Amino acid sequence: MNDRTRPDLLAPRAEKPGAPADARTATGYIGLSVPRAGARRLLQGRGTYTDDLKLPRLAHVVFFRSPYAHARIRKLDLTTAARQPGVIAAFDGRAIAEYCTPWVGVLAHLKGIKSPPQHAVAIERACWQGEAVAAIVAESRAQGEDALAHVEAEWEELPVVTDMEDALSNRSVIHPELGDNICFKRDFVTEGFEDAFAKADLVVEETYSFGRHTGVTLEGRAILADYNAGEHSLTVYQATQAPHMMQDIFSRHLNIPEANVRVICKDVGGSYGIKVHVYPDEMATAAISVMLRRPVKFLADRLESFLTDIHAREHKAKVRLACTKDGKIIGFDLDDLTGIGPYSVYPRTSGIEGNQVVNLTGGPYAHKNYRARLNVVFTNKNVTCQYRAVGHPIAVAITEGIVDLAAQKLGIDPAEFRRRNLIADDAYPYTFPSGLKFEQLSHHQCLDKLLALMDYQGLRAEQKRLREKKIYRGIGLAAMIEVTNPSPAFYGVGGARISAQDGATVRLEPTGMVTCLVSVTEQGQGTEGIFQQICATAVGVSIDKVRVITGDTGTTPYGGGTWASRGAGIGGEALLQAGKALRANILELAAAALSIDKNALDVSTDAVCDKATGETKMPLAEVGRIGYFRPDTLPLKFQAELTVTRHYTPREYGFTFTNGIQASYVELDTDTGFVKLLKHWVVEDCGTVINPMLVDEQIRGGVVQGIGGAMLEECLYSPEGQLLNGSLADYLVPMSGDTPDIEIAHVCTPTRQSELGAKGVGEAGTAGAPGAVMNAINDALAPLGARVNVQPFTPERILRALGKV
């Protein structure tokens, strides 16, 4: 560690101190907008990403990918390619399979889910355009790409299934050995459902479609695998969210003892769920490192990213809502269809997204009746899996869309309709018809706060005034619940070796610095920054004294990593407890050294002090000096323990649900079908807010990703299964200039399951934004008698709804 022994010289240039040491409040640094450590380093171009690593004898692998969506490999001749300049080796799927066993992406708790074995490099048959069928290893990436042109392949095209309904019909079965195209199916119904719907005053129905989209991380997928034959060990530098999960997977599929596998995450340039899955080309890279006994690197370039990074969210959902004539919701009825590509992705499966839609639809409302049907089908497109806010954007949009439609039919204001139906704030703990349990939510507080924040009545008045001038503005609301801090109920119970717990080790250094090692990983979202805040608070030191290490299975405690909005709530709690334990141990040592009752001491501002008077008794540097170099001066039976590890798993609830509500204000150009997003508001309850600035920017970033799905982003495929817009010129991601101001406020209901009280927040913006935007557009369209329900809302779709084309 870099102990800064000459702070007088180094302080002005030091990067670590974010906030001045005196910025602490009664709760330490919790709740302070401390600029995050590391941001300056990244902005100065001093980050170290996987691609920045260069090892001796490093080889580069490139992949020959199927140009067809479904085709049998008639001939694959790599001999000419292997003779090209700089080429080290060329392998087909069979050669790779000698070193890497196939996998099957199923989980036991998703009953009946099925998927065929998937190989790192396809053997005999390719099932989507872009699936790797050969690997070329070369001295440089460019030489590898040169050699790709010399791969000789002959193909026999097979029937292609791209349409979800076509897949469901089983007209052509992609994997005949599975019997049909259905990967996973779920039917759910509450008792008395039919009866309740039959007695309803009003039943509204609508079908919503969602475009397939993807995460578009700034840094592409990246891996550098370094097999050392001398010790039969594998060190993998990987841009991943879950290093321990990957350690287990490399160990099992490459047959290397787990203790000999180390996964290290250097800086990671954004993940959003894209980097938490097992990718065949990355597994092949690790296998090739073993085969060649040398380090091998693979980077997915942008074109490969569009073809092979997981896609998500291709859904068609029919939803019905039953209510009374005075606007009380009786129940929801859902029929969701989603197409996931030819394989269920390993190890999390591609059944989870649809399952989440079933779990969450109707989520904010106090109804008792629910029926859901889910069909997850195989198609010959790229695979889909968990991407930021998994299932939530679908569930929120269809719930909020049908709620608005019901309100419209009844002539009730959408805000008032929600007020009548949101689960009461004093109704908790509450069990939802789909079986989910909510600890404590705050829907009504959030609604009230949102309406005040946006001046709802004022906006409605403005909207009415402008309509007289033929300016069509719309206001859309979207209430939501969100899965965060998942317990083992998410994956572990289904047999996946994915840790729901996390651990933190905190160590007092001899200089009084504190080092913490946490199993949660940093993807650029600022996790290490909030860990600094938590650790400094727990131990009682100023924030510049804390160093954080994450992303290394060789050094950090075992844990799940970053996904499902769990880093702050789970890893943060483990760190809080570890820090508190270290503080207690520091006091034990000081009490022994000073012969003072430890209960009369505390740690404050980098020193042990008198609890009552605040008088400094012993600087932490002195505690470290005694503990490490002069333990002989301590009582004979006293052993200093200046390194502490603690773990945490949420267990009381399957998930720590959060809630929130968003609003969107849009203006519609009825001539062009263009929508201008004027403003967006979010009120969110994520419990304890550790760093308000980071939380708000997480929400803003999430909202923008949600807006992307609603307005712009869609992976378009031809009927032959060819991706039509696989570059950033054609696949449109939102840019800052097209993004509205996003105003954010909070309601704070800490979870009582942990001392920290933090719930997750990273996915909230993405979860709610598409529904809010859709409702705003439909509100603007309403006086024109039009409605849209197919995302993204392109000018074409809006003009068609208006009958202009």
The answer to whether residue 784 forms part of the interface with another protein (CB under 8 A) is: no
Stretch that binds another protein, among 332-340, 626-634, 691-699, 734-742 (CB under 8 A): 734-742
Task: Specify the residue, 18 or 220, whose C-beta has the smaller distance to another protein.
Answer: 220
CB of 677 to another protein, least distance (A): 12
- Which strand (E) or helix (H) includes residue 450? helix 443-454
> Does residue 790 bind another protein (CB under 8 A)?
no
Q: Residues with Cβ < 8 Å from 632, sequence gap 6 or more?
A: none
Q: Does residue number 716 form part of the binding site for another protein (CB under 8 A)?
A: yes
* Tokens coding 550: 């994450």
Q: State how far the Cα of 257 lies from the Cα of 550, in Å rounded to an integer.
A: 22
> 353 in helix, strand or coil?
helix
Which of positions 131-170 make contact with another protein (CB under 8 A)? Answer: 141-142, 145-146
Question: If we measure between CA atoms, which residue out of 513, 515, 486, 489 comes closest to residue 502?
Answer: 486
735 is a site residue for another protein (CB under 8 A): yes
Residues 560-599 vs another protein: string with x where CB under 8 A?
----------------------------------------
Tokens at residue 462, please? Answer: 């403005």
Report the residue number, 628 or 674, with the smaller CB distance to another protein. Answer: 674
Q: Tell me how crowded residue 296 is: count the other CB atoms within 10 A of its CB.
A: 28
Q: Is 738 in the site for another protein (CB under 8 A)?
A: yes
For another protein, which stretch binds (CB under 8 A), given 260-268, 443-451, 515-523, 725-733? 725-733
Q: Is 357 helix (H, G, I), strand (E, B) or coil?
A: helix
- Rounded to a whole number of angstroms, the minimum distance from the CB of residue 86 to another protein is 11
Using alpha carbons, select from 137, 101, 135 the residue that is nearest to residue 119. 101
Rg over alpha carbons for the chain, rounded to the nearest Å, is: 28
Return the number of other C-beta atoms located less than 10 Å from residue 462's C-beta: 15
Contacts of another protein in 695-714 (CB under 8 A): 711-712, 714
What is the footprint of another protein within residues 296-355 (CB under 8 A)? Answer: 301-303
Tell which residue, 282, 300, 278, 301, has the closest CA to residue 350: 278
Joined tokens for residue 670: 């009825």
Longest dimension (CA), the chain: 89
Residues between 267 and 306 with contacts to another protein, criterion CB under 8 A: 301-303
Neighbours of 54 (CB within 10 A): 9
678 binds another protein (CB under 8 A): no
Q: Which of 199, 465, 752, 804 binds another protein (CB under 8 A)?
A: 804
With beta carbons less than 8 A apart as the criterion, state whether 296 and 59 touch: yes
Reading the block at residue 260, the tokens are: 């000999």
Question: Cα(368)–Cα(298) distance, rounded to whole angstroms?
Answer: 51
Q: Which stretch binds another protein (CB under 8 A): 244-252, 423-431, 501-509, 792-800?
A: 792-800
Q: Which of 39, 109, 674, 692 binds another protein (CB under 8 A)?
A: 674
| Residue found under tokens 């099957």 | 104
Asked if 741 interacts with another protein (CB under 8 A), we say: no
Please state the closest distance from residue 14 (CB atom) to another protein, in A. Answer: 32
- Going through 469-534 in order, the beta strands assigned E by DSSP cover 472-482, 502-508, 514-518
Out of 725, 750, 755, 787, point to the residue binding another protein (CB under 8 A).
725
Tell whether residue 439 is a contact of another protein (CB under 8 A). Answer: no
Q: Does 667 bind another protein (CB under 8 A)?
A: no
Residue that is written with structure tokens 């719309």 in the block = 474
Q: How far is the CB of 129 from another protein (least distance, A)?
A: 16
* Between 274 and 712, CB nearer to another protein: 712
Query: Which of 363-371, 547-555, 667-675, 677-685 is the region at the interface with another protein (rule: CB under 8 A)?
Result: 667-675
Tokens linked to 476:
């859309």
Q: How far is the CB of 428 from another protein (least distance, A)?
A: 43
Determine which residue in the list 230, 737, 785, 803 makes contact with another protein, applying CB under 8 A: 737
Cβ nearer to another protein, comparing 216 with 496: 216
80 binds another protein (CB under 8 A): no
Between residues 141 and 252, which has the closer beta carbon with respect to another protein? 141
Residues near another protein (CB under 8 A), total: 31
**114, 183 in Cβ contact below 8 A?**
yes
Could you give the CA distance from residue 72 to residue 129 in angstroms, rounded to a whole number?
12
Smallest CA-to-CA distance from 716 within 796, 792, 805 is with 792
177: contact with another protein by CB under 8 A: no
For position 55 contacting another protein by CB under 8 A, the verdict is: no
What is the Cα–Cα distance from 582 to 632, expressed in whole angstroms?
Answer: 21
Nearer to another protein, 228 or 725 (CB): 725
Nearer to another protein, 3 or 145 (CB): 145
Q: Show the DSSP H helices in 149-301 as ranges.
A: 164-169, 193-198, 243-254, 280-292
Burial class (CB in 10 A: 0-12, 13-18, 19+), 84: middle
The residue from 431, 730, 752, 784 that contacts another protein (CB under 8 A) is 730
Whose Cβ is closer to another protein: residue 477's or residue 773's?
A: 773
For binding to another protein (CB under 8 A), which residues are involved? 141-142, 145-146, 301-303, 671-674, 711-712, 714, 716, 724-725, 727, 729-730, 732, 734-735, 737-738, 794-796, 799, 804-805
